[in-house]
Amino acid sequence: MFSGSMTAIVTPFRDGAIDHEALERIVDFQVDNGTSALVPCGSTGESATLTHAEHLEVVSRVVKVARGRVPVIAGAGSNSTAEAIALTRGAKAAGADAALLISPYYNKPTQEGIYRHYRAVAEAAQVPLIIYNIPGRTASKIEATTVARMAEVEHIVGLKEATGSLDEVQEVIRLCGDRLELYSGDDSLTLPIMAVGAQGTISVIANIAPKQSAAMLAACRAGDWDTARRLHYALLPLIRALFQETNPIGVKAALAMMGFCRDELRLPLLPMTEAARAKLRAVVEEFGLL
């Protein structure tokens, strides 16, 4: 259903409010440079500090500016099933093509609880859903066997995989086959994850290097692994520089350097420290983005 380089876009702020002009610039930049889909209001979009009204405002604006040129996959997850249903229904009403739902965090549900959470959202919202497995943020790992059960649920179409484990990726693909599309959620692992059978990536690095990310994913899908490896190793220093501090601190700093938005985050996140910022700027300049 979805493939290629999909960007988990930032939410730009200006004086504490959503910066709609900056958001429009970011969307057009992505579409013009080969991004396959836009993913607003995920972790990179600081969804944790958006109000429900702001959340739907961002999704609606991205849908409007995208104008059908690429799909919009709205972040809509929560550790409350009722809240996740409301956000997913809201995203659908706003025109999103699909929703990305993080595994319930903090509650630490059982595998059965995780399964029932996603099934309930799928049944209530009836829009394509992508599961998001990132135990480093949620303390709630979705086991491959649970993913395989969810692959049988109508409307659950994909998995964003960010466990950091290639073994986990391969086990999901082995168990699910073509019943579920798998996407990389770790920029540094996208190349090997594509090599074992993923269909694409939901990327942070693509915020600032969409053309290069799209080219790498296109090479992977074409089986041109020499080109894909070359592009991967060119991007790797940029990826490492962006992730010196918690995402999206680094990518917001880089986008500000590039003139797309202010370097403004919401507490408890803070702008990048000066030492890390200096390293990031050097890499961004070397990559030719300034």
The pLDDT value given to residue 175:
97
> Burial code of 145-174, b = ≥16 C-beta within 10 A, e = fewer?
ebbbbbbebebbbbbbbbbeeeebbebbbe
Find out whether 162 and 138 touch, Cβ atoms under 8 Å: no
Mean local confidence (pLDDT), 253-263: 98
Domain span at 125:
4-222
- Number of C-alpha atoms within 13 angstroms, CB side, residue 96? 34
Q: Which two tokens stand for residue 191?
A: 């190349």
CA–CA dist 165, 274 (Å, integer): 32
| 135 preceded by a cis bond (ω within 30 of 0) | no
Within a domain: 236: no
Residue 266 pLDDT greater than 90, yes or no: yes
The answer to whether residue 287 sits within a structural domain is no
Closest Cα to residue 8, out of 61, 45, 50?
A: 45
pLDDT at residue 1 above 90?
no
Model pLDDT, residue 194? 98
Residue 32 lies in a domain: yes
Task: Please report whether residue 280 resides in a domain.
Answer: no
User: By CB neighbour count within 10 A (0-12 exposed, 13-18 middle, 19+ buried), where does 18 fall?
Assistant: middle
Give me the helix-helix angle, 249-257 and 225-242, nearest 10°: 100
Question: What is this structure's pTM?
Answer: 0.96
Question: What's the mean per-residue pLDDT of the chain?
Answer: 97
Domain count along the chain: 1
pLDDT in tens, 4-61: 999 999 999 999 999 999 999 999 999 999 999 999 999 999 999 999 999 999 999 9
Q: What angle is formed at CA 120 by the lines to CA 116 and CA 124, rounded to 5 degrees?
A: 175
CA angle 203, 181, 126 (to 5 degrees): 100
State the burial class of residue 136 (Cβ atoms within 10 Å of its Cβ: 0-12, 13-18, 19+): exposed
Q: Which residues are catalytic?
A: 132, 160
Question: Is 123 a domain residue?
Answer: yes
Mention every residue, 6+ apart, whose C-beta is less than 8 A from residue 35: 4, 5, 6, 7, 70, 206, 210, 213, 214
* Cβ-proximal residues to 240 (8 Å cutoff; 6+ apart), any chain: 188
In the chain, the largest separation of any two C-alpha atoms, in whole Å, equals 48
pLDDT tens sequence across 30-45: 999 999 999 999 999 9
Helix axes 81-93, 111-125, angle to 10 degrees: 30
- The first and second tokens of residue 36, run together, are 């396959």
Is there a domain that residue 199 lies in? Answer: yes
Q: Terminus-to-terminus CA distance in the chain, angstroms?
A: 35
Q: Give the pLDDT of residue 191.
A: 98
Question: What CATH number corresponds to the domain at position 166?
Answer: 3.20.20.70
Question: What is residue 267's predicted lDDT score, i.e. its pLDDT?
Answer: 97
Could you tell me if residue 39 is inside a domain?
Answer: yes
Residue 201: is its pLDDT beyond 90? yes
pLDDT in tens, 78-115: 999 999 999 999 999 999 999 999 999 999 999 999 99
Q: What percentage of residues in the chain have a pLDDT greater than 90?
A: 98
**214 pLDDT more than 90:** yes
Look at residue 250 and tell me if it is in a domain.
Answer: no
Pairwise CA distance, residues 195 & 192, whole Å: 5
